[in-house]
Amino acid sequence: MAAREADAGPAPEARGKVTITEIARRAGVSVPTVSRVVNGRSDVSPRTRARVEDLLQRHGYRKRPAAPGTRAALLDLVFDDLDSPWAVEIIRGVEEVAHAAGVGTVVSAIHGRAGDAREWLRNLRARASDGVILVTSTLEPVLHQELRILGVPLVVVDPAGSPALDVPTVGAANWSGGLAATEHLLSLGHRRIGLIAGPPRLLCSRARFDGYRAALEGAGLTVDDTLVVPGDFHPESGFTGCNALLDLAEPPTALFAASDQMALGAIEALRRRGLRVPEDMSVVGFDDLPEVRWSAPPLTTIRQPLADMGTLAARTVLRLTRDERPDSPRVELGTELVVRASTAPVATA
């Protein structure tokens, strides 16, 4: 008799009180996966669905009535800042995948501020997003831990620092891009090559600088610290940095700006001084944003596959929501030199 009572399942007073979080823990899956089973969605493997449904039945879980206007199937796409065409390209790639999968996208900016991150987390809990894509932001341990507690899958695009080992990342070949940009200028006979660098806290900035240094060393040159000025990827810092280089007793004959926007700011600084690109200074950017092919002159740059990075990040996080592991936890997409009219051989006296 005792055995038959044990087979009957939880006592009546316990039925219906188990949470999705508890079901997810016992099934060894994420909270969004259990939510998809509860809501009858098809994007769950048959084996996982059977395991979760068995636990739901045994624990007598009852789905709460949905609040009016609520919607499932969401991805959170989080940037440090949104004031750049660079962000638009990432969004375009994510949106393409999300739309095809019938998933909505919520775009946020946390501006590197703890208060904004906490507010975003509160909103994330309220809307029960299926997954998070974090772009060029530092994955703080507290943020990572909170997402793990919530059971929300995470992918980081172009990480600012070294992410946790269990977090998939998508980036670009920044080192080889910096190398190719500098080698292109060297091939045109330039030897005094300035660099407007990106923020040093970002891995992509440091990798582009290292590629610049490797190209110079490969040509038997050393980095002249006076030719390297700081930037923040925005046009204003390109304008300021180029002016600082032009004020040197011996300015560079060519310039590698670690972002297209800084390159455009540098070109404006040259224009205001009555200098021509590329006759007086060659300029190379990095990103290949859509507008640089229409700049004056069209910009030589390193094409970074920004939309493809967004596409891959979205596909990866959707795989994680189905409890599938990505093919590789660390992916770097290739970069490519695109030669246009802003570079030319060094002028001879």
Q: How far apart are CA 79 and CA 19, in angstroms?
A: 31
Q: How many CB atoms lie within 10 A of CB 304?
A: 27
Please give the mean pLDDT across all residues of the chain: 86
Give 329's pLDDT tier (boundaries 50, 70, 90). confident
pLDDT of residue 139: 66
Q: How far apart are CA 341 and CA 293, in angstroms?
A: 9
Higher pLDDT, 6 or 233: 233
Q: What is the pLDDT of residues 247-286, one digit of tens each?
A: 999 999 999 999 999 999 999 999 999 999 999 999 999 9
254-257/228-230 β-pairing: unpaired
Give 28's pLDDT tier (boundaries 50, 70, 90). confident
Say what the pTM is: 0.78
pLDDT of residue 138: 67
Q: How far apart are CA 176 and CA 105, in angstroms?
A: 32
Determine contact, residues 150/128, Cβ cutoff 8 Å.
Answer: no
pLDDT of residue 248: 98
* pLDDT, average across residues 139-162: 81
Q: How far apart are CA 285 and CA 233, in angstroms?
A: 10
Q: Is the pLDDT of residue 322 over 90?
A: no
Determine contact, residues 301/286, Cβ cutoff 8 Å.
Answer: yes
* β partners of residue 230: 197
pLDDT of residue 114: 65
